[in-house]
Structure formats: C-alpha cells, structure tokens
Amino acid sequence: MKTPYLVNLFCVGAQKAGTTTLFDLVVQHPDICEPKYKEIQFFNDPDYLNKFDRYGKEIRSNIEALFHIDFTPSYLAHPLVAKRIKAYNPQAKIIIILRNPSERAYSHYKMIKRNGRESRNFETCVKGEIKKLEDGINIDNYKGYVARGLYSVQLERYYAQFDANQIRVYLFEDFVKDQQSIIDDLLSFIGAKPMTISPLKSNAEFNPRINWLWHVYSRVPYKIRQVAERKTILGYLNQMNRKASKKESPDTKTMQILNEYYQNDLIKVEALIHRDLSTYKKIKE
C-alpha cells in the first residue's frame, strides 16, 4: 500500500471553494512536485487498494521534491476517504477550504446545469435533497448540492483520524481577499520556504458559446480533460468556447431555505475550527 514517494499534502475540498486556484499557486513552489493533474480522484475509488501503481505514476514521484500533493475536492465529503488517507500516510498534512455553504450549493448547481446534467430549477433541487437528507448523510447521498455543505460531519471525520496540528482550515472568502496571506500560512504550515505569488483566478465561471459542444466535451472523463486542457488543441478549443458569464443571483426564497437549514451545522463547525462564521449564518430577509 505504498507509492514510491508518499503524498504528504492533501487538499481535500470543499468543492467549488477555490481549490483549483490554490493548486495553480501551490505548484509554482520549487519544492512541491506537480502531479499529472489536479484531481487524482484516487481514495474515493472503491478499488483503490489495487491501484497504487497507478497512483504513483499520477503523482509523478520526484526524489528532489520535498512535497507530493493530491488536490481532490471530493475527498472532503466522501464518508470513507479520511480513514483511507490515514492508513496510507498517518503523517499527512490536510488542507480544507470552506465556503458559505448556501453559495457553494448554488455554484455547484450552476456547474451541473451548465454541463447539461440538470434540468430542474434550484428550488426544486434543494427542497428534494433536504427531504432525502432527513436520515443523515451516507455513502449514497453525500454528493448532493446540499449535502456537500454539511461541513461538520465532514470535518469530524478528519479530526477523528488526524491530530488538529495536521489540519489547516481556510475560508474561501479570506482566500479571495488575500491569496498571499493564505499561501504564506500554508507554506509555513507544511514547513516549506516562503514564496511570493501573483494572484490568480482559475476555473472562473463561464457560459459556453456553443452549448452542444460543451455538453459533449463535459462528458469526456474528467481525468482525460484535465490532461487535455494543458497545452493541447482540445484544451485550446475548450477555452475558445467559453465566454464570461454574467453574475446570476439565486432566488431569495431558496437561499433562505438553505441558510436556515445550515444554521445548526454551522454552529458545530465554528466549535470545530474555532472561527466565527456569522456571515455564513446570516439569514437574509
């Protein structure tokens, strides 16, 4: 159950919380080995135990690098990944970025809708999922727009497996305001030398110019797309098919439903990470 060089830094999520931008900044560091692609999606594979040779190739083992990384935002929500990472490398450092869960849910919804895999309106999705979550999160329902924002149970899994000094939790909103401060703290956390960055905004929201072309492209397996998007004609065509999207606001009623739903969970999150999340808990009238 080993790769030639253990991954010692994981960014496990949350999805739609700036992990792509953070990845693009972190891999600029000379002591950090850039993997074959950002989202390796390994420890959420049911058959991962039989695929460690592949994992070694995907993390691009480099004897000169001090840090090998895996930035897969779906790891945070998956009920089994924290325990799997602990078994793989008990000394690993864990990075988590949280975002206002209601806003995260809407961003998630827009992504799936843009990919042509969602035809319902946001309110219908939210109400239906909340009903399904009445019995709690499990291996069958953790991927939803609403479920991924129930951070307390997700964080508890990681704190149960790793010492608190192995986990660093950031807020998406802080990262947007001051990327350099987050990078400074992250590098100090893992014991890497400082690095000055130029702020980025990766994976910005967009609308496709030609919808059917984007729908076809979005059905290409994600790992293939991650490789293709780097300096290939496919990646170039994909970029040409994007146009900046106008900022859209979800309906107030649905956001209020979400904000009220997340209240108790956010109180638990505050206790876990020792941060004031008043802005997340605010219910807009």
Q: pTM higher than 0.75 for the full model?
A: yes
Q: According to the model, what pLDDT value does residue 276 have?
A: 96
| C-alpha–C-alpha distance, residues 191 and 184, integer Å | 11
In a domain, 92, yes or no: yes
215 inside domain? no
Asked if the structure places residue 235 within a domain, the reply is no
Domain encompassing residue 153: 9-205+245-281
pLDDT tops 60 at residue 285: no
Is 132 inside a domain boundary? yes
How many angstroms separate the CA atoms of 254 and 259, rounded? Answer: 9
* Inside any domain, residue 225: no
Structural domain count of the chain: 1
Has residue 218 been placed in a domain? no
Distance, C-alpha 85 to centroid of its chain: 16
Mean pLDDT is lowest, of 47-51, 173-177, 199-203, 239-243, for: 239-243
Q: pLDDT digits over 157-206, tens only?
A: 999 999 999 999 999 999 999 999 999 999 999 999 999 999 888 765 65
Sheet holding 67-71, edge to edge: 32-33, 67-71, 9-11, 93-98, 167-171
Residue 230 has pLDDT above 90, yes or no: no
Q: Is residue 20 part of a domain?
A: yes
User: Is residue 145 over pLDDT 90?
Assistant: yes
Distance CA 167, CA 100 (A): 20
CATH number of the structural domain spanning residue 118: 3.40.50.300
Residue 183 or 61, more confident: 183
Within-domain flag for 229: no
Whether 241 and 234 have beta carbons less than 8 Å apart is answered as no
